[in-house]
Structure 1
Amino acid sequence: MASTTSDTWPAASTQPPSPAAAGDEPPGRRGSGRARPLPREERRAALIAATLPLVAKHGTKVTTRQIAKAAGVAEGTIFRVFPEKESLIQEAIRAALDPAPLLDDLNRVDVTLPLRDRLIRAAGLLQNRMTRVVNLLIVLRLQQPPQDIAVDRAAVRTTNNQIQEAFVRLLEPDREHLRYPVEEAARLLRLLIFSGAHPMNTEGNPLTAEQIVSVLLDGVRRHH
């Protein structure tokens, strides 16, 4: 994957929650094993959530039978919500690329935490999203968004700016303790996260959020 890819593209989202954690019933499933009736939008969201982990594992070769089993529904239920399997897969990919959950999580990081702690938290959030999306693209054998998912370049720039602003917010309380302006420190942190999490750069040994923040705040030289 080209290193110029926007950090919101291997940027996320927070991955939709798995619909069937061990010992839990899939959403909408009754104790009898049958799926209880759900409003259309809730059923749609449940099917997307069930599909995304399967797409991340199997790519577009995932079957409707696998999806139905994960969602706890009959195969016919899928086609009452989506016209065909491909449209469900595309919606699952869109959900994976949606930056809104990441932005919400970043904006919830407590600015009263010590600087190192708040940056580790934020770095971990962005790193986890990037890792999930990059791994998804690898499974799909893509280096850019699928062609049938339109990319709004203006929206990408807006999202990048929002992520930058979220990091600036977290750095702002310690502005006077930094050798760089907070805007530049935020940019450096994002670059470290991107380069340290990308599998093409890390050879299977990505940097941890703690390592990334340590490099940003402390560098690599011994301090006397």
Structure 2
Amino acid sequence: MTPDERRRALIDATRPLLLEYGTSITTRQIAECADVAEGTIFRAFGTKQDLIDAVVEDCMAPEPVVAAIDAIPAEFDLEDTVTWVIKALSTRIQQIRLLMSALSEPHPHKNPRKPPHGDFHRPVDQAIARVLARFDDQLAVGTPTACWVVSAMAFAAEMPMMDRPDDGEPRNLARLILHGIAAPITLEASC
């Protein structure tokens, strides 16, 4: 295994353990899950906290979301495209929220370290802008505003304190973004 492959295997093995046990996981648990010797963790990352930080960085990396957005088929219409974007954002938001929740457990003997935050939003917004640019002629606002609305609504829909009357169905959220809450205005034919 190359050093990068070993680091990837340790990150992948640690993530579900963090979700289940929080930061009380042991390097022994991680080593067993990754099927490596415990010393491998320290050679690859230095400390358990460095490995936890790497898991957080990996979870917050924009590349999987950008790849999902870039994979939107070109033949999709605007509603299908926005629905796909919302699904990609919602999936990542849920993953980040679960991990942050697992990391925020109180630790009576430790000073909690703030998790590292990479630059997630810029590449994701750029990916959203690329796919929405296909529909510039159908947007009532500029692409930057459209990107902001889609991202903000996807984020808001994933907040645990928000009641979601439609269970957060991405298609319904896409329709709300695209058509608002008002019923279509029908004009009566004049005589």
TM bin (shorter chain): 0.7 to 0.9
- The gaps in structure 2 that reach 5 residues or longer are 106-111, 187-191
Deviations 1:145-204 (A, max 9, x none): x746555xxx63xx4333223222222222222332333222211111111112133479
Give yes or no for contact 2:62–2:121 (8 Å, CA) kept in 1: no
**1:111 Cα deviation (Å)?**
3.0
Equivalent position of 1:175 in the other structure: 136
Q: 1:169 to 1:82 in 2, by over 3 A?
A: closer
Q: 1:80 to 1:169 in 2, by over 3 A?
A: closer
With 187-196 and 104-113 compared, the bigger mean Cα shift is at: 104-113
- The gaps in structure 1 that reach 5 residues or longer are 1-37
The amino acid that maps onto 1:161 is R
The amino acid that maps onto 2:103 is L
Question: Which of 58, 67, 74 in structure 2 is aligned with 1:104?
Answer: 67
Give yes or no for contact 1:198–1:206 (8 Å, CA) kept in 2: no
Equivalent position of 2:108 in the other structure: none
Give yes or no for contact 1:196–1:206 (8 Å, CA) kept in 2: no
Question: Which of 29, 48, 52 in structure 2 is aligned with 1:85?
Answer: 48
Q: Aligned equivalents of 2:146 and 2:115: distance in 1?
A: 33
Give yes or no for contact 2:166–2:172 (8 Å, CA) kept in 1: no
Deviations 1:36-69 (A, max 9, x none): xx12221111111110121122110112232122
The amino acid that maps onto 2:130 is R
Check if 1:140 corresponds to 2:97: no
Check if 1:218 corresponds to 2:179: yes
Q: 1:132 to 1:195 in 2, by over 3 A?
A: same
Q: Aligned equivalents of 2:165 and 2:141: distance in 1?
A: 31
Measured on the aligned residues, the alpha-carbon RMSD in Å equals 2.6
Question: Runs ≥4 in structure 1, deviation > 4 angstroms?
Answer: 148-151, 203-206
Deviations 1:81-121 (A, max 9, x none): 23332222221122112222222322232333122212111
The structure having more radius of gyration, on CA atoms, is: 2
Task: Using the aligned pairs only, state the percent identity.
Answer: 28
Question: Which of 16, 19, 24 in structure 2 is aligned with 1:53?
Answer: 16
Question: Number of paired residues?
Answer: 179
**1:132 Cα deviation (Å)?**
0.8
The amino acid that maps onto 1:141 is S
Check if 1:69 corresponds to 2:36: no
